[in-house]
Amino acid sequence: MSRLVVVCGGSRGVGRAVSRLLAQRGCRVAVVSRDKDKAQDTVDSLHGGEHLALSCDVSKEQEVKKTFEFIVQTCGNIWGLVNSAGINRDGLLLRSRPQDMEELLGVNLLGSMLTCRAALRSMFHTRAASIVNIGSVVGVKGNVGQCVYSASKAGLEGFTRSLAKEVASRNIRVNLLAPGFIRTDMTAGLREEALVRSVPLGRLGEPEDVAHAVLFLLESPYITGQVLLLDGGLQLAM
């Protein structure tokens, strides 16, 4: 039976690329997104025909609980979880509205906590399982105008390391991938030439670059509690 991987935020950008690569490698993929139609569009593009498209707001506890219960009832136990759902609200802290802070933290940090908790109930029944949370180089290095976003990703790093310690005895691995500038809709409004000048490799990352790193962390049997920077050398110049 093919391994089941849940990809939260799997309908666009990085999550879509991750879903496609996993399907190509023979996994059964549950694509979770706020937008059911976009999730279904991703599923329709995947190799194989036994994938799921599901609508869920990962910041809402009951929605997460019901979604993961349905996945397990329909497909069996979960082998992998990829938390790529995320939003951004750039701006100086003094200009940031509390409601925007709450929404950002709710999706980027609380959402991953809720989905991990929901997935673990199933993962405990498997011999091995793997979780990859998608952070950001900004969560490691910080950046002007991204205080709240940086805090959400830095919090995700601490959460990842702590959870890795909690579940290691069950042979469940938890790692964090921290991308730099990736060509997605979140970077579409930025000046690409200026961004590229700050990256030693001389280009933006592609969603497929992230997907291959996610696959590496999902499958590596002796790596847990780690943060892998995927930024073209950006941290060298910061």
* Inside any domain, residue 167: yes
Instruction: Show pLDDT as tens, one digit a residue, over the chain (238 residues).
Output: 589 999 999 999 999 999 999 999 999 999 999 999 999 999 999 998 799 999 999 999 999 999 999 999 999 999 999 999 999 888 899 999 999 999 999 999 999 999 999 999 999 998 899 999 999 998 988 888 899 999 999 999 999 999 999 999 999 999 999 999 898 876 666 666 777 888 889 899 999 999 999 999 999 999 999 999 999 988 787 6
- The range of the structural domain enclosing residue 213 comes to 4-180+207-237
* Inside any domain, residue 190: no
* Inside any domain, residue 26: yes
Instruction: Work out how many domains the chain is built from and give that number.
Output: 1
* Inside any domain, residue 202: no
* Inside any domain, residue 90: yes
**Which own/partner pairs from 158-164 qualify as long-range (CB within 8 Å, at least 24 positions apart)?**
159/109, 159/112, 159/113, 159/133, 160/133, 160/135, 160/225, 160/227, 161/225, 161/227, 163/116, 163/131, 164/224, 164/225
* Inside any domain, residue 200: no
The CATH number of residue 159's host domain is 3.40.50.720
* Inside any domain, residue 195: no
Q: Which residues are catalytic?
A: 149
* Inside any domain, residue 96: yes
Question: Which of 76, 65, 70 is CA-nearest to residue 54?
Answer: 70
pTM: 0.94
